[in-house]
């Protein structure tokens, strides 16, 4: 399988509360980008379905959904968006948020995505991010974000399992973004990195701007 046969992808990467969902949601409204949040996909599942029960039980404890089930749900969701023409893989760059979350998932998604850039939203102040997550939990009624013990467990899992994912990719693909500015400031930094990626993608497609 060639690079062109895979989803042309930009990964949104960072610790819980770094603002991946906020930035991804904004980018998803810009023509030429399609945002998919694995967290949102999980939360949209029917919790009474077999898949939904497993996802709810694991995420409510601050744990990761099993890798094989994560990839299965992700592929099914993305395939549905392609079928609805919401996402056009040949034209759009996929902004992927929440995947891969560990080294095993890096291998599992390798055949499906061609990573063009990794936007690493960096925030050294963990307490600030925990505060941000709890505010979001109240605002969006997100049960998995309401318990501080579970939030801290998610950070521990992030440090142990997710942070090493960056070592699986060439360093020249990784752009560090200060995540502690206002959403507009962070977006400005994000677009500085993304615009060249989109321009290059369009040139490869032979499209004019």
Q: What is the mean pLDDT of the chain?
A: 89
Other CB atoms within 10 Å distance of the CB of residue 139: 9
Q: Which among 62, 107, 99, 50 has a CA at the least distance from the CA of 78?
A: 99
Q: What is the pLDDT of residue 103?
A: 96
Other CB atoms within 10 Å distance of the CB of residue 156: 10
Q: What is the pLDDT of residue 129?
A: 81
- Average the pLDDT over 13-19 and give the result: 90
Q: What is the pLDDT of residue 50?
A: 87
Q: What is the pLDDT of residue 130?
A: 81
- Average the pLDDT over 49-75 and give the result: 88
User: Can you give the residue ranges of every domain in the chain?
Assistant: 3-203
- 140 vs 69, residue with greater confidence: 69
Global pTM value: 0.87
Q: Which among 116, 124, 134 has a CA at the least distance from the CA of 178?
A: 124
- Average the pLDDT over 61-78 and give the result: 90
Q: What is the pLDDT of residue 61?
A: 78
Q: Confidence class of residue 165 from pLDDT cuts 50, 70 and 90?
A: very high
- Structure-block tokens of residue 55: 């996802």
Scanning 60-209, the segments in alpha helix (DSSP H) are 67-83, 103-109, 126-140, 148-157, 183-205
Other CB atoms within 10 Å distance of the CB of residue 208: 6
- Average the pLDDT over 100-104 and give the result: 95
CATH architecture designation of domain 3-203:
3-Layer(aba) Sandwich (3.40)
Q: Which among 43, 37, 77 has a CA at the least distance from the CA of 58?
A: 43
Whether the per-residue pLDDT at 7 is higher than 80: the answer is yes
Q: At what angle do helices 148-157 and 126-140 cross, to 10 degrees?
A: 130
Whether the per-residue pLDDT at 1 is higher than 60: the answer is no
Whether the per-residue pLDDT at 51 is higher than 60: the answer is yes
């Amino acid at each position: 399988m060639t690079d062109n046969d895979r989803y042309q992808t930009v990964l949104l990467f960072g610790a819980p509360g770094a603002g991946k969902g906020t930035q991804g949601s904004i980018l998803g409204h810009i023509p030429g980008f399609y945002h998919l949040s694995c967290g949102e996909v999980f939360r949209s599942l029917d919790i009474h379905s077999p898949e939904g029960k497993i996802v709810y039980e694991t995420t409510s404890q601050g744990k990761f959904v099993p890798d094989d089930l994560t990839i299965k749900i992700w592929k099914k969701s993305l395939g549905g968006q392609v079928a609805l023409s919401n996402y056009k893989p040949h034209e759009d760059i996929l902004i992927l948020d929440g995947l891969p979350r560990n080294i095993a998932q890096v291998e599992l998604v390798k055949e499906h995505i061609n990573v063009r850039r990794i936007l690493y939203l960096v925030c050294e102040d963990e307490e600030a991010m925990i505060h941000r997550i709890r505010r979001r939990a109240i605002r969006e009624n997100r049960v998995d974000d309401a318990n501080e013990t579970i939030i801290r467990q998610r950070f521990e899992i992030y440090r142990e399992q997710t942070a090493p994912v960056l070592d699986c990719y060439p360093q020249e693909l990784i752009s560090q973004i200060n995540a502690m500015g206002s959403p507009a400031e962070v977006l400005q930094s994000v677009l500085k990195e993304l615009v060249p990626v989109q321009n290059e993608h369009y040139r490869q497609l032979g499209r004019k701007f």
